């Protein structure tokens, strides 16, 4: 019985530690740093919210994702799309300063999030 309790505690600890894992991705060409944690890729772009929002919408259509919802004001924006398997793809934008916008791509796996972010970045023309 005691061994069973030890195993349960050990497995629970491993699962909880795994939930907090994050991956940092650095692009050598642009020196931009992105963090992927809990299914969300987060990166800051040195552009204003309106430019990043337009780039995000174009990236979605370029990748063949169907945009189902758009919301935007002067401080934040959100683009919700569906992929070919009808999985939700969420891009949230937050204006940090006049010329800096935080981009959060909420989709799994990390490779898919990177591809969407790269399309947004390419449409910004940086």
What is the Cα–Cα distance from 55 to 117, expressed in whole angstroms? 10
Residue 14 lies in a domain: no
pLDDT computed for residue 126 by the predictor: 59
3: burial class by Cβ within 10 Å (0-12, 13-18, 19+)? exposed
What is the Cα–Cα distance from 20 to 78, expressed in whole angstroms? 25
Helix axes of 110-124 and 49-62: crossing angle, nearest 10 degrees: 120
Range of the domain at 26: 22-124
What is the Cα–Cα distance from 70 to 112, expressed in whole angstroms? 20
Tally of structural domains, the chain: 1
What is the Cα–Cα distance from 100 to 111, expressed in whole angstroms? 24
Residue 5 lies in a domain: no
Residue 38 pairs in a beta bridge with none
Q: What is the pTM of this model?
A: 0.75
Residue 10 lies in a domain: no
Residue 9 lies in a domain: no
| pLDDT averaged per 10 residues, the chain (length 126) | 64 52 55 79 93 95 94 95 93 94 92 92 84
The CATH number of the domain where 95 resides is what? 3.30.160.110
Looking at residue 40, what DSSP letter applies?
A: E
Residue 82 lies in a domain: yes
Residue 98 lies in a domain: yes
Residue 11 lies in a domain: no
Residue 110 lies in a domain: yes
């Amino acid at each position: 019985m005691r061994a069973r309790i030890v195993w349960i505690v050990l497995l629970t600890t491993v699962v909880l530690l795994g939930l907090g894992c994050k991956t940092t991705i650095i692009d050598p060409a642009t020196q931009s740093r992105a963090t992927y944690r809990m299914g969300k890729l987060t990166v800051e772009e040195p552009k204003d919210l309106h430019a990043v929002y337009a780039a995000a919408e174009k990236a979605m259509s370029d990748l063949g994702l169907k945009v189902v919802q758009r919301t935007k004001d002067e401080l934040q924006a959100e683009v919700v799309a569906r992929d070919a398997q009808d999985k939700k793809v969420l891009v949230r934008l937050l204006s940090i300063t006049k010329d800096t916008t935080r981009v959060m791509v909420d989709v799994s796996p990390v490779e898919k999030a990177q591809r969407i972010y790269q399309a947004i970045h390419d449409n910004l023309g940086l």
